Amino acid sequence: DVKVTQSSRYLVKRTGEKVFLECVQDMDHENMFWYRQDPGLGLRLIYFSYDVKMKEKGDIPEGYSVSREKKERFSLILESASTNQTSMYLCASSTGTTSGGGYTFGSGTRLTVV
């Protein structure tokens, strides 16, 4: 089974802190994604990556950056955390093909910024 592991299940950070959310997948997937999920808004794409050292902005990249130095690891960085970044963050990975390439999600990180 594909496994996507997010380093923390719950995090509490202070406003202005730099926050790192880590995601690792173990099935050699090319594609990795970061979403945030908020009630009534569904999943919104922050950043994605189709290859090592490659990154593309999603719908809501402001206030975030990413790093993909190795194929299996995709990190989301909150440069200066703010209270409006309190959310559930979900990492996902998929194969490079489009045929049936559903996403496998990590268990999520619930981040609270105080």
Between 11 and 45, name the residue whose CB sits nearer to other proteins. 45
The least distance separating other proteins from the CB of residue 101, rounded to whole angstroms, comes to 7
The least distance separating other proteins from the CB of residue 107, rounded to whole angstroms, comes to 5
The least distance separating other proteins from the CB of residue 78, rounded to whole angstroms, comes to 20
Backbone CA torsion sign across 25, 31, 34, 35: negative
Question: Burial code of 71-87, b = ≥16 C-beta within 10 A, e = fewer?
Answer: bbebbbebeebeeebbb
Residues in the site for other proteins, rule: CB under 8 A? 33, 35, 40-45, 48, 58, 90, 92, 98-108
CB 72 within 8 A of CB 86: no
Between 14 and 102, name the residue whose CB sits nearer to other proteins. 102
Between 13 and 44, name the residue whose CB sits nearer to other proteins. 44
Q: Which residue has the tokens 């194969």?
A: 95
